[in-house]
Chain A
């Protein structure tokens, strides 16, 4: 019985991982740019939720939407104001640019909100669901459902719509896309905006059951990178499956072997998978 609860917990945690990783994989897949500020985007999303709740009395629907809008703008701005300019530089300068952005966001938050930990009230999105003795945390369940919806939505957008084709065209061959009348800058700004919005939704939802602090992004970002690399660079459904996988493996190994060993198990499996399939589970090379 406990094992079922452990696995349920793992799936819920995995869904949360998948949720905050989808934005990262989109940018990675579309542009081959690693957004090191991703964890801090999640953190900003959490603070937007906190502000809307605290000062405007907004509920989950309001602050999730607000966070999506704010992060869409931040995403577009990150591209037009920063990434576009460093794209012509070396790989190193691209990496350091987003890393710099991460530090600016993190320490600006320290400055504005101080280092205090905050949290939203427990029961904003329901409490705990009891399914025949198996406890399911409602906020995590909602996060999981949204993660799946977001994944399907992004996947559908990329594979079924004209905008998706244009996005993919730009990521495949910028010059050819330009000759076809697509404006690459506009498309890439859109990709950053969409990734930002997804990340904003993730951050706001996570804020309903997690603590909020300026350095929370640091803790979450590493997991996001592992999820995306394991799922396959740029594969949106891959991130969902990898997230669930990592969540379950972490919880099981923590319960069976002890919490200090869970990361050893996860990262050992991660390295092993990449050794056999460098492109990740669902990545195309």
Chain B
């Protein structure tokens, strides 16, 4: 027993005596909704981030173009390994806030990534900012997240205004192909994510002279969505854009079938409609559904293909876009951490602001990663996909299309 105590004490002394940069493991906090209504998407993102950590911690020469893949651990920090500390925020901003506090003060993580919902990222990143802890977000798209003048917040994903612009360009292209879109309806969940995307879509629609005939806010954890669908059926817009989480996305396509409503063009803004649970449970009701994505599995042998195979080995299914973006967020953080060569917040923040990754160094379809003064990735990009059979395929813009666009929306027919 005494020997054990001595051993423990000397190990402790050794640990304390070491320079921070020579620690064998580095703790990074991961905030995700692991229970609650978005649990399915949250768990999928968690597995993707864990896969990211696995790629960083072990040598994967086959994924070489991805930074840190070929080497084991972080060479810049003496080969230190990353240890993920995962916290569940249940989709609740206040739980997110207290979990962030716990990660920082008790778990003493040196950086944080997450938290899926924009509304939760709003509170969690504010807590991280107060403690000066770097926060890299891979998937929350509400525009105002990077408008708060934070010093510790970096966002890798494209944001709402990028998508809104894409949707408008896409509809303009449809017009050129002989399917003009003149009237538009917006259906959005009423937290940070939905309202923010809806705001930008509204602005762009006005700019392009589209007539917004229906503008419907709703609560994502609602028990029923028939009134929204009836509203749309009544107004007959040429295109509808849905901004929804998973449970409501499923309810929408089920209710549209029950009420026999098919808009000519149905666009889904990622999130719930990109959740693998939505695809497995409801793809047959949403044929021809347009969606956005920055993830493509790619050709056999490509890095993205291999990453997808690794994800598949863990889950039995393909990697989806939101989980991919979460994983990309983590990989960007790890790369900066390695370049910082230190676990001090200032050094990590400096490295993050100097991030400069090319298109080959990212797994998502971005042009690279480079942050502006607000912490937004200026090279983020996205394209549009369409539900065909039981999966989404890239259809727009034309140069990245795997298949021609199918028009109109077919739903369950």
Contact B224 A251 (CB under 8 A): yes
Chain B residue with Cβ nearest A254: B227
Q: Which of A57-65, A144-152, A169-177, A212-220 contacts B (4 or more CB under 8 A)?
A: A212-220
Q: B217: which of A6, A122, A213, A260 is its contact (CB, 8 Å)? A: A260
Contact A259 B34 (CB under 8 A): no
Contact B35 A258 (CB under 8 A): no
**Nearest Cβ on chain B to A265's Cβ, whole angstroms:** 12
**Nearest Cβ on chain A to B16's Cβ, whole angstroms:** 38
Contact B42 A115 (CB under 8 A): yes
Given contacts A115-B35, A115-B43, contact A259 B227 (CB under 8 A): yes
Q: In chain A, residues 94-144, which have Cβ atoms closer than 8 Å to a Cβ of chain B? A: 107, 110, 114-119, 122, 128, 130, 135, 137, 140
Q: Type the 1/0 row for B66-96, where 1 means its CB is closer than 8 Å to any CB of A.
A: 0000000000000000000000000000000
Contact B39 A214 (CB under 8 A): yes
Q: A122: which of B42, B254, B277 is its contact (CB, 8 Å)? A: B254
Q: Does A223 contact B (CB under 8 A)?
A: yes
Q: Does B259 contact A (CB under 8 A)?
A: yes
Contacts of B34 in A (CB 8 A): 115
Number of interface residues of A (CB under 8 A): 39
Contact B251 A110 (CB under 8 A): no
**Nearest Cβ on chain A to B390's Cβ, whole angstroms:** 14
Contact A116 B40 (CB under 8 A): yes
Q: In chain B, residues 192-236, which have Cβ atoms closer than 8 Å to a Cβ of chain A? A: 216-219, 221-228, 230-231, 233-234
Contact A122 B247 (CB under 8 A): no
Q: A110: which of B39, B227, B280 is its contact (CB, 8 Å)? A: B39
Contacts of A215 in B (CB 8 A): 35-37, 39
**Nearest Cβ on chain A to B187's Cβ, whole angstroms:** 9
Q: B230: which of A6, A115, A262 is its contact (CB, 8 Å)? A: A6
Contact B190 A13 (CB under 8 A): no
Q: Does B246 contact A (CB under 8 A)?
A: yes
Contact B216 A258 (CB under 8 A): yes
Contacts of B106 in A (CB 8 A): none
Bound-state CA distance A209–B260 (Å) is 15
Q: Does B250 contact A (CB under 8 A)?
A: yes
Contacts of B231 in A (CB 8 A): 255
Contact A219 B223 (CB under 8 A): yes
Contact A251 B40 (CB under 8 A): no
Q: Does B305 contact A (CB under 8 A)?
A: no
Interface centre among B40, B42, B225, B251 (most CB of A within 10 A): B40
Q: Does A35 contact B (CB under 8 A)?
A: no
Given contacts A5-B230, A135-B259, A254-B227, contact A110 B281 (CB under 8 A): no
Contacts of B282 in A (CB 8 A): 119
Q: Does A2 contact B (CB under 8 A)?
A: yes
Q: Does B258 contact A (CB under 8 A)?
A: yes
Interface centre among A6, A115, A210, A263 (most CB of B within 10 A): A115
Contact B281 A118 (CB under 8 A): yes
**Nearest Cβ on chain A to B287's Cβ, whole angstroms:** 13
Contact A107 B280 (CB under 8 A): no
**Nearest Cβ on chain A to B276's Cβ, whole angstroms:** 8
Chain A residue with Cβ nearest B234: A2
Contact B37 A259 (CB under 8 A): no
**Nearest Cβ on chain A to B312's Cβ, whole angstroms:** 16
Q: B223: which of A9, A116, A220, A260 is its contact (CB, 8 Å)? A: A220
Q: Does A267 contact B (CB under 8 A)?
A: no
Contact A116 B230 (CB under 8 A): no
Chain A residue with Cβ nearest B285: A122
Contact B39 A259 (CB under 8 A): no
Q: Does A235 contact B (CB under 8 A)?
A: no
Q: Does B330 contact A (CB under 8 A)?
A: no
Interface centre among A9, A117, A220, A250 (most CB of B within 10 A): A117
Q: In chain B, residues 347-369, which have Cβ atoms closer than 8 Å to a Cβ of chain A? A: none
Given contacts A114-B43, A128-B258, contact A251 B37 (CB under 8 A): no
Contact B277 A116 (CB under 8 A): yes
Q: Does B278 contact A (CB under 8 A)?
A: yes
Q: Does B412 contact A (CB under 8 A)?
A: yes
Bound-state CA distance A200–B412 (Å) is 29
Bound-state CA distance A263–B221 (Å) is 12
Q: B221: which of A135, A209, A214, A219 is its contact (CB, 8 Å)? A: A219
Bound-state CA distance A107–B35 (Å) is 9
**Nearest Cβ on chain B to A261's Cβ, whole angstroms:** 10
Contact A259 B36 (CB under 8 A): no
Contacts of A220 in B (CB 8 A): 223
Q: In chain A, residues 200-253, which have Cβ atoms closer than 8 Å to a Cβ of chain B? A: 209-211, 213-216, 218-220, 223, 250-251
Contacts of B257 in A (CB 8 A): 122, 128
Contact A115 B254 (CB under 8 A): no
Bound-state CA distance A135–B230 (Å) is 11
Contact B35 A251 (CB under 8 A): no
Q: Please list the 10 inter-chain residue pairs (A to B) with the smallest Cβ-Cβ separation, ordered nearest first.
A: A115-B39, A254-B227, A259-B218, A117-B277, A255-B227, A137-B258, A119-B281, A211-B250, A9-B226, A115-B40
Can you list 25 A-B pairs, Cβ within 8 angstroms, ordered by A? Answer: A2-B233, A5-B230, A9-B224, A9-B226, A13-B223, A115-B42, A116-B277, A117-B247, A117-B275, A117-B278, A118-B281, A119-B250, A122-B257, A122-B412, A128-B259, A137-B258, A211-B250, A211-B254, A215-B37, A219-B221, A219-B247, A250-B224, A251-B226, A258-B216, A259-B222
Can you add 20 more A-B contacts, CB < 8 Å, to A9-B227, A117-B246? A2-B230, A5-B230, A5-B259, A9-B259, A117-B281, A118-B277, A128-B257, A135-B260, A140-B258, A209-B254, A214-B35, A214-B39, A215-B37, A215-B39, A216-B247, A218-B36, A219-B223, A254-B218, A260-B190, A262-B227
